[in-house]
Structure 1
Amino acid sequence: MRVLIADDHDLLRDTLVMYLEGQGGIETASVGNFADACARIAADDPYDLVLLDYNMPGMNGLAGLRTAIAMGTGQRVALISGEATRRIAEDALEAGAAGFVPKSLPAKSLINAVRFMAMGEQYAPIDFMTAVEEKVTNPLADKLTARELQVLQGLTEGKSNKEIARDLDIQEPTVKLHVKTLYRKVGAANRTQAAMIAREAGLY
């Protein structure tokens, strides 16, 4: 079984390699960013499973997942994350991910998950997927739709409309429309002001 691990945290990456190779029968390769992961997928013999960190450099979240899946070398691709929400996990599975693996998973469960996914099954821990998430109310967030909140987050990260459109897999004119609407809702005149309002409200 061949597994590629892509994560920008050296300690975590090395620990995963140690855990998996210690089981025997699992050959691993590891990289620290999405570009290197794509290069290895393209150049190496097919992997049974590719584990992508949701937040590593170049990943762009679900956009990176879709790119890796579409490379078409037969590999199965799963997300691993210490921060992603259940909604992100659900979206990843819907997009064709082999699974979603929280970084909080115990070592034995992680190894079992990797084997499970490499054999062609889809994996997500039941307790994570069924946990009741605390709903934190925020007066500013209550004014905006879910998509407007995603666009606003992109603004706070300094992204262009084109980058936000790519991350959310929507058209750039649609992003412009959302930006205009959320300006009106939050009382902002421009991108910088919208980002400042969001940060002051404790949204991001």
Structure 2
Amino acid sequence: MRILVADDHDLVRETIAAFLTNEGVVEVLTAATLDEAIEQTQSTGSFDLVLLDYNMPGMNGLDGLSRMMEANEKRPVALLSGTASRDVAEAAIKAGAAGFVPKTLGSRSMVTAARFMAEGEIYAPVNFMQQESAPGRTQLTKRESEVLRGICEGKSNKEIAIDYDLQEVTVKLHVKTLCRKLAARNRTHAAMIARDQNLV
């Protein structure tokens, strides 16, 4: 797996790169500006994932995200930020970002999120996305709904993974996210809530 970490703060950039390298990511390159990130992509080929700092030079809001997605040949590009709001995160995902990663995320969670997005999934931490969220029906992604349907049918993670051509670890992450979103204690509780709320 090849990942590009683009951030204008040396310490943040090198720390995230070290997290990824220590967890076995084969190749991690870094860049300090959007132009440098685009140049790296054009000279070395597209990446499995680009982590792009929302506030670094050249970004100009979500315009930088679009430019990077194009340079990376539509392969996953995620926003990285320590200050962006939930609205920015939602707008980025709507614009095609592979996810939104707060810089406060722990090393293990950061690596899990990176692998998840490199597989083509959308990542956004539930607790962050629920800040100031309006009450009402629980919002699930298409993939989360599919996994939830599998849980309601009594299928194991392995069976759900086979059904949707996913890695079992990816299904596990969706189950964890689902339980958080639904405030469920476990899979069975999640299935009960899903039926009560007509989510499947």
Whether TM-score is above 0.5 comes out as yes
Unaligned residue ranges in structure 1 (runs of 5+):
134-204
Match of 2:30 in 1: 30
TM-superposed deviation, 1:68: 1.1
Note the alpha carbon deviations across 1:107-166, whole angstroms, 9 max, x for none. 111110000000110100000000227xxxxxxxxxxxxxxxxxxxxxxxxxxxxxxxxx
Structure 2 partner of 1:59: 59
Find the counterpart in structure 2 of residue 103 from structure 1.
103
Please list, as runs of the form range in 1=range in 2, the aligned pairs for 1:33-182 lying within 5 A after superposition.
Answer: 33-71=33-71, 73-132=73-132
Q: Provide the C-alpha distance between the structure 2 equivalents of 1:104 and 1:40, rounded to a whole number of angstroms.
A: 26
CA distance in 1, matches of 2:25, 2:10: 23
Deviations 1:65-94 (A, max 9, x none): 011112352421100000100000000000
Structure 1 CA distance, aligned partners of 2:132 and 2:72? 36
8 A Cα contact 1:41 1:73, kept in partner: no
The 8 Å contact of residues 49 and 77 in structure 1, kept in 2 or not, is answered as yes
Provide the TM-score with structure 1 as the length reference: 0.63
Runs in 1 of length 4+ with deviation above 6 angstroms?
Answer: none
Q: Aligned with 1:55: secondary structure?
A: coil
Rounded to whole Å, the distance in 1 between the matches of 2:74 and 2:94 is 18
Shift of 1:24: 1.1
Q: Unaligned 5+ residue runs, structure 2?
A: 134-200
- In 2, are the aligned partners of 1:76 and 1:98 still within 8 Å (CA)? yes
* d(CA) in 2 for partners of 1:118, 1:110: 12
Q: How far apart are 1:61 and its partner, in Å?
A: 1.6
SS at the partner of 1:59? coil
TM-score, normalised on structure 2? 0.64
Number of aligned residues: 133
Cα RMSD of the aligned pairs, angstroms, is 1.2
